[in-house]
Amino acid sequence: MPTVDDPSVRQVCVGCHWTMLPGLLPARSWDKIMNGLDDHFGKKLDMSEELQRYILHYLKENAAEYTESETSVKILDSIGSRTPIQLSDSKFFEKKHHEISQSDWNHKKVVYKSNCVACHIELAETGSFDEVENPNK
């Protein structure tokens, strides 16, 4: 899956969390996320309208329906017409992570299901989900 190659997008996003890959969600989800910055997962994000439009354009242009990633296609198939704001709200995610215990999710390196890079250690740099490490093991 393509990684975020735009330095401006990386800089803004990595200030709070790993740089989420645009191909993990459809464009409509990125639209919903970026137009809800007053409550961005419990935090209010302040950025100029110009920067917000720039990041939204980048995310939508590289969203799941515009990548050739097999994973993106599976994600889209699993969500149908819904507009999730988190990958963890998809059947794809549930299928891939059904064996993960609550204690693994609660590990101090994981904390949130959206913290993919806690276990998929090369994801942010390579876009690959292949290299997996369970922090509890």
The string of DSSP letters for 33-48 reads HHT-GGGBTTB-----
- Cα 45 to Cα 2, 40, 121: the distances in Å are 25, 7, 27
Q: Is 19 helix (H, G, I), strand (E, B) or coil?
A: coil
Return the pLDDT at 110.
86
Q: What are the beta bridge partners of residue 43?
A: 40
* Alpha carbons 46 and 110: distance in angstroms, whole number: 26
Return the pLDDT at 58.
96
Query: pLDDT digit of tens for each residue in the chain (137 aa)?
Result: 888 899 998 887 776 777 889 999 999 999 999 988 787 777 787 888 999 999 999 999 999 999 999 999 999 999 999 999 989 899 999 999 999 888 888 888 888 888 888 888 888 788 877 888 877 76
Return the pLDDT at 72.
95
Return the pLDDT at 75.
95
pTM over 0.75: yes
Residue 65's nearest CA partner among 80, 54, 50 is 80
Burial of 6: CB neighbours in 10 Å, binned 0-12, 13-18, 19+: middle
* Alpha carbons 90 and 26: distance in angstroms, whole number: 12
Return the pLDDT at 125.
83
